[in-house]
Chains A and B, each alone.
Chain A
Amino acid sequence: MSDTTLSPADLAAKHGLSVSGARPGLTAYIKQLWGRRHFILSFSSAKLTAQYSEAKLGQIWQVATPLLNALVYYFIFGVLMGTRKGIPNDVFIPFLVTGVFLFTFTQNSLMAGVRAISGNLGLVRALHFPRASLPVSFALQQLQQLLFSMIVLMIVVVASGFMPGMTWILIVPVLALQFVFNTGLALIFARLGAKTPDLAQLMPFIMRTWMYSSGVMFSITAVLHDKPSWLKHVLQVNPAAIYMDLARYALLDGYGGGSLPPHVWALAAGWAVVVGALGFVYFWKAEERYGRG
């Protein structure tokens, strides 16, 4: 049959053309994403550098911002409100700083995820790349930011009288799991935010509620000792609380080991794997629709 009489679809099939902008299969997608790893890395560190490039102090803000954050929370919750209930004095500061830094890590990853697609439509509409590169890249940027905060945290912990010990190694798997969890969240919210940019306005309130119920500035077991125990359990299996409590356990000489929920490592890994995988598949499902409207 001659080309002139073929329908466009048949003509395309005859010459092996593919549908432009069609969603690749999941394995092909993962391969594409892996192929873009250098772009993802370079994009995230570029964002990180660009963040403070106008400031006179420049990159010092990478460390100064988390430090100031910790100071504010210490002043309000440690000095003014005294939420240190059930926590020894010398533990409270590193307890609080660990909590603030790790929660900020998750919070910022999620918030960056909301704007990953909707805030980069120009990029999405101009160039071709697996769109998951963006939320993953933003989550990675937050991980790099956290590593700066970790320097501050180590100093605070040592200054409070906790010497580095073997348990410090545990912070590595904790942060790795939390990073996977955060990336999953960023992917989920990137898709939601691409459809409904209004989430960027709504999410700060939800995040604040989550923060106050995760025991960032108080010990869940100490504050809730007179409340029904199911409430305590619910708050304790919340992923943010798990990663924070494990980090405290690792850095503060086994602090709070007794109040960790049972199977805490399985829970930490479970949250990471489930949310990470779910987020990835959920994001991929709408791959061909990002950039419209």
Chain B
Amino acid sequence: MAVAEDIKDRVAVEDARIPTVICDDVHIVYTVNGGGGGRGSATAALSRMVKKDKTGGASRGMRRVHAVKGVSFTAYRGEAIGLIGSNGSGKSTLLRAIAGLLPPESGRVYTDGQPSLLGVNAALMNDLTGERNVILGGLAMGMSREEVRERYEEIVDFSGINDKGDFISLPMRTYSSGMAARLRFSIAAAKDHDVLMIDEALATGDRQFQIRSEERIRELRKHAGTVFLVSHSIGSIRDTCDRVLWLERGELLMDGPTDEVVKAYQKESGR
């Protein structure tokens, strides 16, 4: 019958699709030092050390934050998946777990190849020149020396840092925040990835640079197997994603086609 046909079709389609990321009941818990349990005074710390631990598992002075609670989904090759949810709903944390950067407390993340976060900020040093940061950032992302050398011109040109004079040979701390953001994005976007995760990287730089970076992201999407995009901008989610995961308080509320999920999300958040 029609329903049976439909199910059969769907099974056939599922079979043809190649999974790239599988999350199986993933829980992520942060432990924060000195974050909780009364005041941060020395006496409070002492009494915590003396008193028996009541929080179970967490030791004195530590607080556990359950950031992602039992999320399961499968992503397939060729998909662009948006992650939406209010601030602190666990979107970025989930991305980090998929990238293998934050070990899950329980559950498993299976991936095809090495997913990478589009971001290199942490590897860069403000006291170094832009030039050295391009090299350092490239190496930190796992590019070889030759690759960095090859892409160097491209990165600097793309960032537009040198449009207004020779700024690339100045320390990065002398850059304006916009300039620094442009250079960071240019470095991060220089590498091709199997599974690419973008965490609100689009909102940097001036209008002209935003257009340029959106183009670059579309290009990266073509090369990448699967793209994840975290954004608060429903516009850019609609533009780039065909599937959306809606997270709220660490739980997966909805998983489905962009239109459906976005509609429900907007209804819920009253926009």
A interface with B by C-beta (< 8 Å): 2-4, 8-9, 11-12, 15-22, 36, 38-39, 42-43, 46-47, 49-50, 53-54, 120, 122-129, 197, 288-289, 291-293
Contact = CB atoms under 8 A, between A and B. Distances in A.
Nearest to B20: A17
Interface string B29-73: 011110000000000000000000000000000000000000010
Contact of B122 (A9, A19, A127, A292): A127
A16 B19 contact: no
B108 A8 contact: yes
Interface residues of B, number: 54
Contacts of B20: 17
Given A9-B24, A21-B103, A50-B128, A2 B109 contact: no
Nearest to B33: A197
B21 to A, nearest CB: 8
Given A12-B22, A127-B120, A20 B110 contact: yes
Contact of A50 (B14, B72, B96, B127): B127
Given A8-B24, A39-B140, A197-B33, A128 B114 contact: yes
Contacts of A122: 121-122
B74 A11 contact: yes
Nearest to B108: A19
Contacts of B101: 21, 124-128, 291
A8 B108 CA distance: 9
Contacts of B99: 20-21, 128
Nearest to A120: B122
Nearest to A39: B139
A214 B176 CA distance: 49
A122 B141 CA distance: 14
Given A3-B19, A38-B144, 6 more contacts: A2-B14, A9-B110, A21-B97, A53-B171, A126-B117, A292-B102
A17 B111 contact: yes
Contacts of A36: 139, 142
A201 to B, nearest CB: 13
Contacts of A12: 19, 22, 24, 108, 110
Contacts of B97: 20-21
24 contacts: A2-B14, A8-B23, A8-B110, A11-B19, A12-B19, A12-B108, A17-B20, A18-B111, A19-B108, A20-B99, A38-B144, A39-B136, A46-B136, A47-B125, A49-B132, A50-B126, A50-B127, A50-B128, A125-B122, A126-B121, A127-B117, A127-B119, A127-B142, A128-B114
B240 interface: no
A38 B109 CA distance: 30
Given A3-B15, A17-B22, A20-B115, A126 B120 contact: yes
A49 B15 CA distance: 54
B100 interface: yes
Contact of A9 (B96, B108, B142): B108
B11 interface: yes
